[in-house]
Amino acid sequence: MQVKGSFRVMVVIPWVFLLGGGCDKPRGQTAETSQPQEDLVEVDMTPEPLPIAVNEAEPIIDKSSKVSILGYHQFITQGNETAMRISVSRFRKQMSALHEAEIPVISLSDYMAWRSGSKQIPRQCVVITIDDGFRDLFSEALVVLKEFGYPFTFYLYTNFLGGSGRTLADGEVRALMAAGGELGSHSISHDFLVRARKKFASQQQYDQWLLKELKGSKEKLEQRFGVKISSFAYPYGEYSAEVIGKALQAGYASAVTVNGAKAGYGINLMELPRYIIHGNDDLNWNSATSFNGVNGIAGGNLLKSGAEGEREKSQAQVQVWPENKSEIADRRPTIWADISRLGEIDPDSLVMKVSGFGSVPLAYYPERGVVLWDVNRALRARECMVSLSLRREGEDKSQFVSWSFTIDRDAYYLPGYREKVTAQSAEAVTSEQGEATGEARRALRVP
């Protein structure tokens, strides 16, 4: 038979022959030693818990907050009070009134952090500022400010610093900063920054002088006291677009005026309004401490929500949950207020606002005197502010109550979170006033 083409023959050799399986082993070698030995590493198989990454939530900023910036000058213990001179006794009464009315005092830095979107502030609060640098700020006012633990900002002009017994010495300035005071600039000479233009033959000369007043005072204070100066107070409250431009060029982030108004979220940072508090009348004081048409301190219409301690709770006109200044674990709590002690309330006047949410759809149970709202999404910010405004039947003026609480955000990631939430909720409805609230919640079928 003839076969066309070509082909290859492949011979398969058993692997045992290649390994010497069919031959005598070399003398002195065994099958066990024909392969290289491996070094075994002992592995610890004990399980370890994996760390839980907790992402820090970005704060939810409530832009509806209103801030009253108060402006003071001199503090006296004798003599007649004037627009720029206030008695220490009157000043103490004002600071005590803020404390009794539970109107928070924040620092200017807190306000700036709110404006940058990095921090929430109370819906209604106050900033305290003091101009010029008279020595009585240290000898008289600081005692009162320390008594209440209030932060403050003080503005100095460098020509009036350490020059006589009426002015602050360097050591006193440092003591004020150590006590919570934030240092700001008030120019070099305290001259009128706009009207001074008439003194100069040319615009160039005026520009140079203006920049020196603004930037020179900032640099001198920074070098002298080793702090960054970021805020300016216009002498006599006088400023213009040109002055603002030079202040920005000098490196200021904010500037305060004497225009009496609330400092909201949209206010130009270089035109922050201030209420200059007079020593001889309460007009500006009353305006500054009235919020949203409600005369808080002036009219006595701020209701007390209570604070820590059984005595304060028993004296509260309105009981609230979460309690004022408390810390809770629940990130979706039921926020409620028992207003049964206030008598008949106009239901249409009830408005509840919660930071991060604005006005919320509350439920009102007049037979129990309870107002409540179930938070419909997890609270992300650590601090939460609540305010409730209302009007009694037959009255024209509204009243309001405000309180704040904090969230223990770490509790959510720890064992026993649900049990802790349940225990705190149970505690809330076992108090005398809370029983009515508990019945209202059950009527709403809130767990």
Range of the domain at 346: 310-443
8-state DSSP, 381: S
CA 362 – CA 420 distance, rounded (Å): 25
Is 298 within the bounds of a domain?
no
CA 364 – CA 183 distance, rounded (Å): 47
Q: CA of 32: how far to CAs of 14, 19, 28, in Å?
A: 21, 13, 12
- Residue owning tokens 């002498």: 235
pLDDT band at 296 (very low <50, low <70, confident <90, very high): very low
Task: Judge contact between 128 and 70, C-beta under 8 A.
Answer: yes
Between 325 and 356, the more confident residue is 325
CA 60 – CA 140 distance, rounded (Å): 39
Is 50 within the bounds of a domain?
no
Q: HSE, CB side, 13 Å, CA atoms: give it for residue 247.
A: 28
Across 317-339, average pLDDT: 86
Instruction: Give the three-state DSSP class for 1.
Output: coil
Separation of first and last alpha carbons in the chain = 97
pLDDT band at 114 (very low <50, low <70, confident <90, very high): very high
Tell me, what's the pLDDT at 316? 61
Task: Judge contact between 439 and 343, C-beta under 8 A.
Answer: no
Let me know whether 319 and 285 are in one domain: no
Let me know whether 112 and 180 are in one domain: yes
Is 31 within the bounds of a domain?
no
Highest mean pLDDT: which range of 1-10, 169-178, 333-342, 409-418: 169-178
Q: Which one of 241, 260, 289 terminates a domain?
A: 289
Tell me, what's the pLDDT at 253? 98
Tell me, what's the pLDDT at 21? 46
Across 184-211, average pLDDT: 97
Between 312 and 374, the more confident residue is 374
Tell me, what's the pLDDT at 290? 82
Is 85 within the bounds of a domain?
yes
Q: Which one of 230, 260, 289 terminates a domain?
A: 289
Tell me, what's the pLDDT at 312? 46
The alpha-carbon radius of gyration of the chain (Å, integer) is 35
Task: Judge contact between 440 and 366, C-beta under 8 A.
Answer: no
Instruction: Give the three-state DSSP class for 284.
Output: helix
Across 43-62, average pLDDT: 63
112: phi then psi, degrees, rounded to nearest 5: -65, -35
Let me know whether 112 and 258 are in one domain: yes
- Describe the strand order of the beta sheet including 275-276 as a list of residue ranges: 254-256, 231-233, 181-185, 152-156, 124-132, 66-72, 275-276
pLDDT exceeds cutoff 60 at 391: yes
Report the length, in residues, of the chain: 447
Let me know whether 258 and 351 are in one domain: no
Across 138-149, average pLDDT: 96
- Non-local (6+) Cβ contacts of 73 within 8 A are 84, 85, 86, 130, 131, 132, 134, 276
CA 36 – CA 197 distance, rounded (Å): 95
CATH number at residue 86: 3.20.20.370
Let me know whether 125 and 264 are in one domain: yes
Let me know whether 284 and 316 are in one domain: no
Task: Judge contact between 252 and 214, C-beta under 8 A.
Answer: yes
Tell me, what's the pLDDT at 246? 97
For the chain, how many structural domains are there in total?
2
Task: Judge contact between 265 and 274, C-beta under 8 A.
Answer: no
Across 62-69, average pLDDT: 92
Across 165-188, average pLDDT: 96
Let me know whether 276 and 148 are in one domain: yes
Let me know whether 248 and 122 are in one domain: yes
Mean pLDDT value across the chain: 82
Tell me, what's the pLDDT at 396? 79
pLDDT exceeds cutoff 90 at 149: yes
pLDDT exceeds cutoff 60 at 112: yes
Is 118 within the bounds of a domain?
yes
Between 21 and 291, the more confident residue is 291
Percent of the chain with pLDDT over 70: 75
CA 155 – CA 163 distance, rounded (Å): 16
Bridge partners of 167, per DSSP, are 134
Tell me, what's the pLDDT at 419? 80
Let me know whether 249 and 189 are in one domain: yes
Between 217 and 52, the more confident residue is 217
pLDDT band at 48 (very low <50, low <70, confident <90, very high): low
pLDDT exceeds cutoff 90 at 418: no
Q: CA of 263: how far to CAs of 256, 271, 340, 442, in Å?
A: 10, 9, 34, 42
pLDDT band at 20 (very low <50, low <70, confident <90, very high): very low
Let me know whether 224 and 358 are in one domain: no
pLDDT exceeds cutoff 80 at 47: no
pLDDT exceeds cutoff 90 at 111: yes
pLDDT exceeds cutoff 60 at 441: no
445: left (phi over 0), alpha (psi -120 to 50) or beta: left
pLDDT exceeds cutoff 70 at 429: no
Give residue-wise pLDDT tens across range 346-377.
999 998 888 767 788 999 999 989 999 988 88
Between 318 and 211, the more confident residue is 211
Is 56 within the bounds of a domain?
no
CA 323 – CA 336 distance, rounded (Å): 10
pLDDT exceeds cutoff 50 at 3: no
Tell me, what's the pLDDT at 43? 61
User: Is-above-0.95 flag for pTM?
Assistant: no
pLDDT exceeds cutoff 70 at 397: yes
Q: Structure tokens of 108?
A: 């200017």
pLDDT band at 310 (very low <50, low <70, confident <90, very high): very low
Tell me, what's the pLDDT at 313? 46
Let me know whether 243 and 349 are in one domain: no
Task: Judge contact between 106 and 368, C-beta under 8 A.
Answer: no
Between 345 and 33, the more confident residue is 345
- Describe the strand order of the beta sheet including 326-328 as a list of residue ranges: 326-328, 399-407, 383-390, 351-354, 358-359
Task: Judge contact between 329 and 408, C-beta under 8 A.
Answer: yes
Q: Which one of 232, 255, 289 terminates a domain?
A: 289
pLDDT exceeds cutoff 90 at 272: yes
Tell me, what's the pLDDT at 294? 44
Is 195 within the bounds of a domain?
yes
Is 35 within the bounds of a domain?
no
Let me know whether 211 and 327 are in one domain: no
